[in-house]
């Protein structure tokens, strides 16, 4: 009761769950049994106008029986007809559940008017989302001219929760596509976003399910590989079976295991021209490492906060890494995670097979281990420790241990983290810290890092800027408008002080950033940089302009921009201008089909300001959705090279084509058919094939 009173005093909204003996049918029709439920109805508009009455009314009903949670949304649409469309913005509803009363981490369940569904984790008190979690739950949707209904059933066995806690954090959201409006049950400020710590509470909840799901995922696949390496052609037909297991040992602890996994359906990483000093960070795409990845990471400020580079002493792409166009085979992997109100604990282990090429062992058998322990403190803040390590021989190892803490107070966040590394007896350390929040009416962004010359996590993590020292500070007024075309604007000066690896001199860059956002969803970010810089045994006056623009065009998100910089070109080895341009957009031809384009244009100049080359990249794609659970998509990626500015001399550098069919035919059960073809220019300029891959893969969930 004491805990319940503390929780409720932080929110003025609660909804009481009612117990039922007869379960409702999940078919999108609100039947009589829902009349027994308590309801949430007094929603508040967040966008485009903050803290106003919603344009349309929304009512949410909540029930439970011994085994399941039930939710029903009745979304009235008197002014804007519901939008149902597979390939563009459409109406949807979202349920957020914090079953540990953690005030930082929660589940989310999202259902669109078309029936498409998503689920995942809400992290960092609502500042970032992780959609790698996939649960067993069901939905039903019915759309009418003046309202639509969404029903959801969530088995208690499919989520983890704190036993004995009868007040869970709860949030409901409704999105109206016709007028781009977002409404929430509890008040959400535009500048803060949907913070878990400010959710309402679902009271009286009492799960009575006994036991927990034991899930087995047998995977069968047939893979065809044809490769060309060192002028030799090889063809391989590979039928195989792998096994994945997920066991919810308790309502808070889960064990995941995989044996001989194959990731044939994973799309290749897009091409990127890197002219900088450090390698490109590649996002994780493999399902085993995606699920639960939030546990095995150092603290971060959330999505879109590029001013801060966390100490990634564990980088899962090192496991089963790419070599000569192949992936080092993974023999087995194991993950154990435990989530509670105050503690998050994760243990990960993996073992990879040796990789051999031309009778030479290029990668021996290798073991990997990661341990993460994090504790919640002071409400919604955290402190934690992370250990990561790898070894293939007694004298060939790499491990690191890191400590981190994050303090959250409302919108403001402060992070501090440090790490120690040991690679074959070479020891080093690193420290990183940052702040994002308001000091008075000034939005302030700050970060600082020091990476020791001997710090090395190259076999297990991603911190390549060894020896770097850096300090960043940006602060200026943030103005928000309740009415009018402009929603908010941020304008601020700043400074970046850097000491590059191997340099004794310190660089100082001044900057100005302007960031306006409009009421109709458009926004841009303009940044200007200038100042003396020291790197690569030279000194020069650094200059840069960066412009990024985003918004909604024909109901779809578009992003484009450019960066023009005078800096050191590490690919060429000299000081010169360089430019990067990008565009990303997808257009809905009809409800079930969309076409899209992702493109880049890199331009390089020489020391005499003469253009020496352009590198365009075009990645068109097409997607067709048969229904909410079945789709096929195809893409082509063309990388071109244009010498100087002579368009007539443009040559094709590489071409990649891929197709993926996916069918979610049962809960967490999938059928994949994937095709990939990659061709690249050889030494004399001819486009020749490098590999062709075809795969059929079936993954079926058996759970009890």
C-alpha pair distances (Å), 77 with each of 181, 296, 405: 12, 43, 45
Q: E-assigned strands of 570-684?
A: 574-590, 593-605, 611-627, 630-643, 651-666, 669-681
239 pLDDT tier (thresholds 50, 70, 90) = confident
Q: Phi first, then psi: give them for residue 651, nearest 5 degrees.
A: -125, 150
Residue for token pair 């829902």: 34
The residue-averaged pLDDT of 451-473 equals 96
8 A C-beta contact, residue 407 and residue 331: no
Q: Residues 569, 573, 576, 577: what is their CA dihedral angle, to the nearest 10 degrees? A: -30
pLDDT at 151 over 90: yes
Residue for token pair 């934690």: 384
- As a whole number of angstroms, the distance between CA 373 and CA 392 comes to 25
The residue-averaged pLDDT of 579-591 equals 96
501 pLDDT tier (thresholds 50, 70, 90) = very high
**According to the model, what pLDDT value does residue 667 have?**
83
Q: Phi first, then psi: give them for residue 657, nearest 5 degrees.
A: -130, 140
> For residue 204, what are the contacts with CB-CB under 8 A and spacing of at least 6?
16, 17, 18, 166
Instruction: Pick left, alpha or beta for residue 571 (phi over 0 → left; psi -120 to 50 → alpha; otherwise beta).
Output: alpha
- As a whole number of angstroms, the distance between CA 446 and CA 434 comes to 5
**According to the model, what pLDDT value does residue 211 have?**
57
**According to the model, what pLDDT value does residue 286 have?**
81
The residue-averaged pLDDT of 396-406 equals 96
Q: In this predicted structure, which of 180-194, 297-311, 496-510, 522-536 has the lowest mean pLDDT?
A: 297-311
Q: How many CB atoms lie within 10 A of CB 644?
A: 12
Using only C-alpha atoms, the chain has a radius of gyration, in whole angstroms, of: 26
Task: Return mean pLDDT, the chain.
Answer: 91
pLDDT at 2 over 70: no
* pTM for the whole structure: 0.88
C-alpha pair distances (Å), 189 with each of 49, 52, 179, 186: 10, 11, 19, 10
Pairing of strands 38-40, 426-439: unpaired
- What percent of the chain clears pLDDT 70, i.e. is strictly above it? 96
> For residue 282, what are the contacts with CB-CB under 8 A and spacing of at least 6?
269, 317
pLDDT at 457 over 70: yes
Closest to 185 measured CA to CA, from 16, 15, 44: 44
Q: Would you list the DSSP string of 158-209? A: GS---TT--EEEEEEEEEETTTTEEEESS---TTT---GGG-EEEES-----
668 pLDDT tier (thresholds 50, 70, 90) = confident
Q: In this predicted structure, which of 4-13, 102-111, 223-232, 498-507 has the lowest mean pLDDT?
A: 4-13
- As a whole number of angstroms, the distance between CA 486 and CA 489 comes to 7
The residue-averaged pLDDT of 329-349 equals 89
Domains present along the chain, CATH in parentheses: 2-203 (2.60.40.1190)
- As a whole number of angstroms, the distance between CA 194 and CA 182 comes to 11
539, exposed or middle or buried, with CB in 10 Å at 0-12, 13-18, 19+?
A: middle
Provide the CA 384 distance to its chain's centre, in angstroms: 21
**According to the model, what pLDDT value does residue 9 have?**
42
- As a whole number of angstroms, the distance between CA 387 and CA 591 comes to 48
- As a whole number of angstroms, the distance between CA 144 and CA 207 comes to 34
**According to the model, what pLDDT value does residue 202 have?**
96
Residue for token pair 């589940």: 107
**According to the model, what pLDDT value does residue 248 have?**
80
**According to the model, what pLDDT value does residue 234 have?**
85
- As a whole number of angstroms, the distance between CA 388 and CA 293 comes to 14
- As a whole number of angstroms, the distance between CA 486 and CA 524 comes to 12
8 A C-beta contact, residue 619 and residue 601: no
142, exposed or middle or buried, with CB in 10 Å at 0-12, 13-18, 19+?
A: middle
**According to the model, what pLDDT value does residue 303 have?**
67
- What percent of the chain clears pLDDT 90, i.e. is strictly above it? 67
210 pLDDT tier (thresholds 50, 70, 90) = low
**According to the model, what pLDDT value does residue 264 have?**
58
C-alpha pair distances (Å), 658 with each of 282, 633, 655, 676: 19, 8, 10, 4
> For residue 49, what are the contacts with CB-CB under 8 A and spacing of at least 6?
482, 483, 519
**According to the model, what pLDDT value does residue 604 have?**
97
Closest to 537 measured CA to CA, from 511, 574, 572: 574
The residue-averaged pLDDT of 500-512 equals 95
pLDDT at 4 over 50: no
C-alpha pair distances (Å), 91 with each of 109, 152, 368, 595: 14, 16, 44, 21
The SS3 assignment for 480 reads strand
The residue-averaged pLDDT of 325-338 equals 88
1 pLDDT tier (thresholds 50, 70, 90) = very low
- As a whole number of angstroms, the distance between CA 254 and CA 247 comes to 6
**Tens-place pLDDT, residues 524-572:** 999 999 999 999 889 999 999 999 999 998 888 999 999 999 999 999 9
The residue-averaged pLDDT of 216-222 equals 83
362 pLDDT tier (thresholds 50, 70, 90) = confident
Look at 293 and 484; give whichever has higher pLDDT: 484
- As a whole number of angstroms, the distance between CA 596 and CA 600 comes to 14
pLDDT at 265 over 80: no
Closest to 482 measured CA to CA, from 193, 191, 197, 179: 191
**According to the model, what pLDDT value does residue 11 have?**
52
């Amino acid at each position: 009761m004491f805990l319940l009173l503390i929780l409720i005093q932080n929110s003025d909204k609660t909804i009481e769950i009612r117990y039922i003996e007869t379960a409702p049918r999940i078919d999108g029709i609100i039947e009589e049994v829902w009349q027994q439920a308590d309801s949430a109805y007094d929603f508040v508009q967040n966008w485009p106008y903050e803290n106003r009455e919603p344009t349309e009314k929304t009512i949410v009903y909540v029930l439970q029986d011994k085994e399941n949670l039930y939710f029903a949304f009745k979304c009235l649409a008197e002014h804007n007809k519901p939008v149902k469309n597979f390939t563009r913005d459409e109406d949807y509803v979202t349920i957020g559940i914090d079953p540990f009363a953690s005030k930082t981490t929660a589940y989310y369940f999202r259902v669109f008017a078309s029936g498409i569904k998503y689920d995942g984790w809400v992290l960092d008190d609502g500042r970032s989302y992780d959609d790698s979690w996939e649960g067993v739950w069901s939905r039903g949707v019915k759309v009418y001219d003046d309202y639509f209904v969404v029903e959801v059933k969530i088995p208690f066995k499919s989520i983890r929760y704190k036993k004995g806690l009868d007040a869970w954090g709860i949030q409901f959201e409704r999105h109206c596509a016709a007028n781009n409006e977002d409404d929430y049950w509890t008040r959400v400020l535009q500048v803060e976003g949907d913070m878990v710590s400010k959710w309402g509470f679902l009271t009286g909840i009492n799960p009575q399910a006994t036991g927990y799901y034991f899930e087995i995922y047998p995977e069968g696949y047939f893979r065809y590989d044809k490769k060309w390496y060192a002028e030799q052609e090889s063809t391989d037909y590979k039928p195989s079976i792998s096994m994945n297991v997920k066991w919810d040992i308790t309502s808070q602890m889960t064990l995941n295991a995989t044996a001989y996994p194959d990731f044939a359906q994973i799309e290749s990483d897009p091409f990127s021209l890197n002219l900088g000093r450090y390698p490109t960070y590649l996002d994780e795409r493999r399902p085993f490492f995606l699920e639960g990845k939030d546990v095995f990471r150092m603290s971060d400020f959330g999505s879109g906060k590029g001013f801060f580079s966390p100490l990634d002493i564990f980088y899962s792409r090192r496991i089963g890494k790419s070599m000569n166009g192949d992936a080092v085979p993974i023999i087995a992997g194991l993950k154990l995670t435990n989530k509670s109100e105050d503690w998050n604990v994760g243990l990960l282990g993996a073992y990879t097979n040796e990789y051999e090429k031309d009778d030479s062992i290029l990668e021996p058998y290798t073991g990997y281990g990661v341990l993460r322990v994090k504790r919640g403190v002071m409400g919604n803040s955290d402190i934690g420790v992370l250990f990561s390590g790898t070894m293939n021989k007694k004298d060939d190892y790499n491990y690191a241990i890191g400590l981190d803490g994050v303090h959250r107070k409302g919108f403001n966040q402060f992070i501090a983290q440090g790490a120690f590394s040991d690679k074959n007896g070479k020891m080093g350390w690193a420290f990183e810290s940052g702040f994002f929040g308001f000091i008075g009416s000034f939005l302030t962004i700050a970060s600082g890092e020091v990476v020791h010359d001997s710090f090395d996590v190259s076999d297990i993590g991603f911190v390549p800027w060894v020896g770097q020292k850096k300090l960043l500070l940006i602060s200026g007024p943030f103005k928000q408008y309740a009415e009018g075309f402009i929603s908010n604007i941020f304008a601020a000066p700043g400074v970046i002080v850097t000491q590059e690896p191997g340099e004794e001199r310190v660089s100082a860059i001044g900057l100005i950033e302007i960031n306006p956002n409009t009421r109709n969803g458009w926004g841009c970010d303009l940044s200007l940089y200038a100042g003396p810089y020291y790197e690569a045994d030279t000194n020069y006056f650094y200059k840069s302009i960066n412009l990024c623009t985003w918004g909604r065009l024909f109901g779809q998100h578009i992003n484009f921009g450019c960066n023009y910089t005078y800096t050191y070109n590490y690919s060429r080895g000299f000081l010169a201008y360089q430019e990067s341009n990008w565009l990303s957009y997808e257009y809905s031809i009809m409800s079930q089909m969309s076409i899209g384009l992702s493109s880049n244009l890199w331009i390089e100049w020489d020391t005499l300001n003469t253009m020496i080359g352009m590198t365009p990249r075009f990645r068109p794609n097409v997607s067709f959705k048969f229904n909410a659970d079945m789709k096929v998509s195809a893409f082509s990626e063309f990388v071109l090279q244009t010498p100087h500015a002579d368009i007539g001399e443009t040559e094709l550098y590489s071409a990649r084509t891929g197709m993926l069919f996916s069918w979610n035919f049962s809960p967490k059960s999938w059928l994949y058919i994937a095709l990939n073809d990659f061709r690249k220019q050889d030494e004399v300029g001819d486009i020749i094939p490098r590999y062709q891959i075809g795969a059929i893969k079936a993954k079926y969930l058996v759970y009890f």
